[in-house]
A and B are shown apart, each in its own frame.
Chain A
Amino acid sequence: MDLQFTSEEEAFRLKVRSWLVENMPTSGLSDTREGRDDKTWLARAKAWQRRLYEAGYIALAWPKEYGGQAMDPVRQSIVNDEMVRARAPYNVGASGLGMLGPTLISWGNEEQKQRYLPKILTAEEIWCQGYSEPGAGSDLASLKTRAEIVGDEFVVNGQKVWTSGAQYADMMFCLVRTDPEAPKHRGISYILIDMHTPGITVRPLVQMTGDRGFNEVFFDNVRVPRKNLVAKLNEGWIVANATLFHERNMLGSASGSEQRFNRLLALAKSITRGGRPLTEDPVFRQRLVELETRVEAMRYHSLRQLTDQIRGKNPGVEAMINKLVGTELNHDLATAAMEAMGDYSMLSRDDEAALDHAYWPYEWMFSLGLVIGGGTSHIQKNIIAERGLKMPKSR
């Protein structure tokens, strides 16, 4: 064990830190998830990701031939930490960067990598994920969106749901049924769909937060070139799981929790209850430390996995818990903040008396959404038990 960063890495960290101070957008973008459907926001968000890319701070570990820098994962983790520390805005291209990109690097053919990866980095193409359907949520493999092969094309009919970012995405990585006769896991293919193709209708859904974050997407005889198939026909399930692995790691990322804890602690220090700061309340102190301890544990857990990655060790059961633990921890942090705020937790961001622009009430709601999205906690526990502990399948 050696937790020292090299002097080059330390210098790199300082460089990233000062770059962020100088270059972070001061208005129009925030680190919360509000207001994502407005055109001005989209243009600014894309410009911000592009600026990060040009500075060399996007996808550092990706191969050079596709626009990456082939650096070791430590550099990327330094950038991620610094972004969180600076409360930098979310990358609008996160689905491409965190989910499709790594999947294509492993499963895509050379033409697909050349065609898609560079534009993910520059935010020229924004991706969305076409997985869930009205009848296929936790039981994702029962999906029904049909793709029939006609000549050189797939003809897609069906519906996806809970599709985040579909209202502005240029492309979708999508699971479709290509063999309705085969057992459900063996008739699925993974295809890439241009969202501007005729026959696609995007209908926004309003989330409990009041925001339009996700959508229904309808496919009516949508024609997709056959070359947009990733891996082999009817072998999309394994590719889908590769993407889910990346998604779950992204959702369970530890660095966001640290920043949220610091924000919670600052909040608790600023609140007076019964004539003393809330941090001096013995019950709330215990709760704060319990949360801080879980946050710390996840930080070390991430460092352990980073090391395993560098050492070339295949992820085991420890990687299966990231999404479950990380998202529940974030929701628990937000719940504690809501309690700390007392009656101010009632106010929405539309009220001028709201604390911190009602960051916590919205974080409290969003964070529960992420306990569900990418596979609910219940499904994560099934995966840990069945794949990690080899407990017998019930289905």
Chain B
Amino acid sequence: MDFGLSEEQRQLKESARAFLSGECPTTFVRKVMATDDGYPGELYDQMAKLGWAGLIVPEKFGGAGLGMLDMAMILEEGGYAALPGPFLFSSVLAASALKLGGSDALNSKWLTALAEGKAIGTVAIVESAGSIDARDISAIATRGDAGWHLEGTKMFVPYANVADFIVVAGKHDSDIFLFVVDTKSPGVTIRTLKNLDLTRRVSSVELKDAPAERLGGGADLFTKLIDVAAVAVAADSLGGTERALEMAVDYSKVREQFGKPIGSFQALKHAAAEIVADVEPARAMLWYAAYAQDTDAADASRTASMAKARLCDIYSRGTDRAVLMHGGIGFTWEHDMHLWFKRARFNESYFGSPAFYRERVAVLGEY
């Protein structure tokens, strides 16, 4: 029985912290926020050199062949730094979909390029309903002599604007399958949406008889992708909550009112302590959720859902409190607090709300 991080995992986390605090401080994040595509290419080249791009890609496709618990170390630090760009969507979600459902031929093309940092992938599930629920998916997949084609409009697709390929959910008869679409194919129209969290970009993706390759597995693969996404977003949320707490606590030690640091007042102490009390047990749960993915544990879906619901709730509540602890300065554009405040809201809705995941737990638990 050993419930903790390995020495390698701790080192991975420490090196990610050191790398991102040097290369991705908020001054840098703000520069990326102001660009059109929201994608810091040079930073991503460095990340690929560190092996992050292909961290969970199998070795046979040029990756490091590590698992979600290892990846969670980097995702947590990405959340802490408010890392902009497609990392989570490409190197975790798209990579997982291919790893689990891609043919060798498909993976040799996309997964290898992804692991080398030469291709960006993303995932497109949600449509106009703004919901991850399979019942809200209506993009139609048809099979003709020339293979599969997709028809429909996907919404809120992260970084479709810079992606080389997209993993798309589509319906054939009444079953959900995942497909890979090359963004350069005819029939693919991408329009970047204007969203609140500028550390991320989202687009609509219109598919008009767009050629697609089907991934193996149907509903199972979709379920598995939901699990991976839940764990990944939860890990990002953990790091973001830690950062918001740290900023609020640091500020409370220097800002003085009534002749003393505001951190000496119990109202602020209790707000900060409540965030700690939320975060620490959730951290342990995230570790388990990631481990359950890596070991295909029987409760992998259940625990991934719990981690997503819990950590997204904690992140939203925690950043809300952290803005409040800052007072007026926390409400300004100049102060960095709103980067995490908005990122928390993105995480909360992305790939399903806490309520969606709680219902999923209830169904799995046969309530």
Contact = CB atoms under 8 A, between A and B. Distances in A.
Contacts of B361: 289, 292-293
B59 interface: no
A321 B5 CA distance: 20
Nearest to A311: B4
Interface string A187-203: 00000000000000000
Contacts of B2: 1-3, 307, 310
Contact of A280 (B6, B263, B291, B367): B367
Contacts, number: 160
Contact of B264 (A269, A304, A317, A392): A392
Given A297-B310, A303-B3, A394-B264, A317 B276 contact: yes
Contacts of B174: none
Interface stretch (B92-100, B199-207, B282-290): B282-290
A389 interface: yes
B137 interface: no
Interface string A359-390: 00000000000000000001011101110111
Interface string B5-29: 1100000000000000000000000
B277 A384 contact: yes
Interface string A284-307: 011011101110111011011011
A289 B302 CA distance: 11
Nearest to A394: B264
- Binding site secondary structure of chain A: helix
B358 interface: yes
Contacts of B3: 1, 3, 300, 303-304, 306-307
B272 interface: yes
Contact of B270 (A4, A317, A320, A385): A385
Interface string B285-313: 10110010000000000010010011000
A240 interface: no
Contact of A290 (B1, B291, B358, B365): B358
A65 interface: no
B276 A300 contact: no
Given A286-B359, A297-B310, A303-B284, A385 B269 contact: yes
A23 to B, nearest CB: 26
A282 to B, nearest CB: 8
Nearest to B295: A3
Contact of B358 (A293, A308, A385): A293
Contact of A307 (B4, B263, B359, B367): B4
A282 B362 CA distance: 10
Interface in A194-230: none
B249 interface: yes
A381 B274 contact: yes
Nearest to B270: A381
B160 interface: no
Given A297-B282, A307-B3, A391 B276 contact: no
A298 B277 CA distance: 10
A304 to B, nearest CB: 4
Contacts of A1: 2-6, 69, 287, 291
9 contacts: A1-B291, A286-B362, A289-B309, A289-B365, A289-B367, A303-B284, A307-B4, A384-B269, A384-B272
